[in-house]
Amino acid sequence: MPEGLNLDPAVLRQLAAQHRRVAADTREWAKPPEDWLNDFPRTYGSIADPVYKALLEYYSERQKAGNALADDHDKTADYLIKSANDYEASDAQGAQNIRNSGQGLDTPGGGGTETPQTPAPTPVGPAPDAPSAGGRGPDATTPDTSTPGGTTPDPVVPGGTAPDQADPTGTAPDQPASNITTPPPVTPGAGVPGAPETTAQQPGSGVTPQVPAAAGAGADTGANTGSSAPAQQTGASAPAGTTPPPTGVPGVAPMAPVMGGMDDRSTTAPPSQTGGRADSTPFVAPMPTPFAAAVAAAKEKAAEPSHVVGDEVDEDLVIARTLLRSVLAAVDSSVIGLTWAVSVMRGPAGAGVFITTNEGRGWMPAGLFLPREVSSPWVWDELLGTDTDEGSPWEGVTDPARVLAEFGLAWGAKANAKLSALVSSGPIDPGLRAQLRDVSTEGNVRAAEEVDLRVFTPDTADRLGLFGTMSALEHVSAMTDAQVPGRCIELAVDAHVRVGRAGPVPVEAAEARSVRERILAMVQAGQPVPSPWWDDLRDADDLLAASMLSRRVDPGRVGIGDLRVDSSDSSLRDMVFERRCNELVLLLEGEPSRQSLRDAVYAHEQIIEHPFFVEAPSAVSAADTGRVDRPVTTTGTVSAPGTSVAPPTGISGPPGVSAGPPPVAPPPVPRSSQDGS
């Protein structure tokens, strides 16, 4: 039949076995490195107690998230097994019905008496070749009792829900075809790695950034690994551990829940309806994710020219290039002076993917949804810093590829990983290439929509989800829909005021600040903002971006590992803060939504969470004590004037002042003394 379903129960059972293996691997990976944690206080001393406590909290959250993900895999396996059993039973029942319906014709009538037909048994479900209206498999209407064929569903896996206790119509795969690439949806998992919106957890977040475990450590690399935890790599060495189960890009460990470790960024409907990531959506196991499929296609294409059997393609370079090309296709190319770079670091535990720009501390534009395997070098400051130096002293550098190279050197020593690939949307300095002889590099990468990163999907996260703090994620999730518009306005006003109080406004930003004030006044008054004002703000912001170009530092003549940007010069940083204020106000132009709130919170954090942002204290007026300061007169080589210096008689202090000691008039200087001097 043209609309029939070609189902092979063996394929469903094979997929179920894969889910069982992934569940077991996930549980094993989620176990905390007990030996390393127990040895941590002795190795690093009491000075590292805050880090130790953060690690304990991180690994606890990671284990919860890993177990939740494993439970989802087990449930999916249960549903697949049940679907296969029900399909076989329904198929056998349908065949029996056909045989029974033909018995009346094949049996000759005897002696004029008609042999009564045996009533055909009622089929348990629709015929195998007749899909249900919902497009589900034949098992969609099968009752939960034992199947007619005598088979029973597989026993319930610990931690999972018995398949026969769930409504088959809600759990059967939508497309149980032999070429299935995605398993049926499972119950929502708030603890599934990839969902940083739960209030109990989340990287870059109040709990500890998800440490990029690109290393030979037991955690996944960079914030890129599934529920991987880069947090374990705080010390000079990280514990050896099991590699997280693969879920997406070949060679790239799944992403962790912190920056995680608390990165429970699941997903649900569009980010506009949820906090952005998906704590409320059913988790769909990525087999494979769109990004992984794009990488596989790019790898196959890269091998086409030679067609040499056994000729290896640089997989890490393909991963970095594919991500960067897709990012460039998704973002607004009109942002003046914005350059992108992507790197891959590889260690015994897998690979870590990192991305950054040359604006601020790796600022990302709104409307970009990156794979959850991706991290940024700027979220690991706490682990890279020392007592005498900040963790990421590279802000204000012209070349983002240089930032990733410096990060690779700094992080590799801690994570037992090495930089393996580096690509940039701009040219890569020849001197940098020479210093990275063992690293695959590519400059001037151009946009190509190999995977659409403008749309939120279960395997992607927005900029707040990947790089925001835990407190920010909790704040967003606590907001009701009715509070969203007002909160967006509050964030824009707060940033405008606090940046203005922090210091003198850069001359280049004066025009933008003036336009912002007019727009905010109209918005706060509930009045519509004239359209030309929005255009004026965009134009002023473009001019500000252009004026920043000459303020950035060219690191070409500095050897790798020696780059340190002077943090005392705040001129460029102040201009970046002004641009974030512009961004916050421009977000008010459209209809307020949860996604616009998430974008506003991210832009606001780029200012107030900046390590060098210091808000000037509000002016405090001191009470008048009634005291009058007088200059102290001293005798010396300068002669006093030839007039009496005593104050007029009858004046003892300011009128109406009773507090404070009474004023004392200096003694009059005799005339003779003045003449003598």
Q: Per-domain residue ranges for the chain?
A: 9-102+121-171, 200-258+311-468, 479-608
Pairing of strands 350-357, 340-347: antiparallel
Q: Which residue has the higher pLDDT, 661 or 438?
A: 438
User: What is the band of 4 on the pLDDT scale with cuts at 50, 70, 90?
Assistant: low
Residue 621's pLDDT is 47
| Residue 281 dihedral angles phi and psi, to the nearest 5° | -100, 150
Of 356-360, 529-533, 663-667, the range with the lowest mean pLDDT is 663-667
User: What is the band of 467 on the pLDDT scale with cuts at 50, 70, 90?
Assistant: very high
Residue spans of beta strands (DSSP E) within 417-518: 418-424, 440-442, 460-461
For 278, the 3-state DSSP assignment is strand
Residue 416's pLDDT is 87
Q: How far is CA 569 from the centre of its chain?
A: 29
pLDDT exceeds 90 at position 524: yes
Are 313 and 299 spatial neighbours (Cβ–Cβ below 8 Å)? yes
Q: How far is CA 5 from the centre of its chain?
A: 39
What DSSP string describes 371-397? Answer: ETTEE-GGGGHHHH--SSS-S-TTTTB
Q: Which residue has the higher pLDDT, 4 or 573?
A: 573
Per residue in 360-417, pLDDT (tens digit) is: 999 999 999 999 999 999 998 877 765 555 656 788 899 999 999 999 998 888 888 9
Per residue in 266-288, pLDDT (tens digit) is: 433 333 333 444 343 443 444 56
Residue 186's pLDDT is 39
pLDDT exceeds 70 at position 447: yes
Of residues 371, 374, 448, 366, the one with CA closest to residue 404: 374
Residue 569's pLDDT is 73
Residue 666's pLDDT is 52
Give me the mean pLDDT over the 445-454 stretch.
Answer: 91
User: What is the band of 96 on the pLDDT scale with cuts at 50, 70, 90?
Assistant: confident
Per residue in 583-605, pLDDT (tens digit) is: 999 999 989 999 999 999 999 99
Q: How many residues does the chain have?
A: 677
pLDDT exceeds 50 at position 14: yes
pLDDT exceeds 80 at position 568: no
- Residue 343: exposed, middle, or buried by beta-carbon count in 10 A (0-12, 13-18, 19+)? buried
pLDDT exceeds 90 at position 330: yes
Please name the residue that has the structure tokens 């009346």.
Answer: 104
Per residue in 20-66, pLDDT (tens digit) is: 999 999 999 899 999 889 988 988 888 989 998 999 999 999 999 99
Please compute Rg for the chain using Cα positions: 34
Residue 526's pLDDT is 93
Per residue in 194-242, pLDDT (tens digit) is: 334 433 334 344 333 344 444 333 333 333 333 333 333 433 333 333 3
Residue 309's pLDDT is 53
Residue 414's pLDDT is 85
Token pair listed for 588: 């008010």
Per residue in 75-85, pLDDT (tens digit) is: 999 989 998 89
Residue 533's pLDDT is 97
Residue 182's pLDDT is 42
Are 581 and 491 spatial neighbours (Cβ–Cβ below 8 Å)? no
Q: Which residue has the higher pLDDT, 17 or 236?
A: 17
Residue 597's pLDDT is 96
- Residue 164: exposed, middle, or buried by beta-carbon count in 10 A (0-12, 13-18, 19+)? middle
pLDDT exceeds 70 at position 264: no
- Longest alpha-carbon distance in the chain: 165
pLDDT exceeds 50 at position 321: yes
Q: Which residue has the higher pLDDT, 178 or 394?
A: 394
Per residue in 455-465, pLDDT (tens digit) is: 998 889 999 99
Per residue in 534-548, pLDDT (tens digit) is: 999 999 999 999 999
Tell me what the pLDDT averaged over the chain comes to: 71
How far apart, in whole angstroms, are the C-alpha atoms of residue 454 and residue 377? 23
pLDDT exceeds 80 at position 445: yes
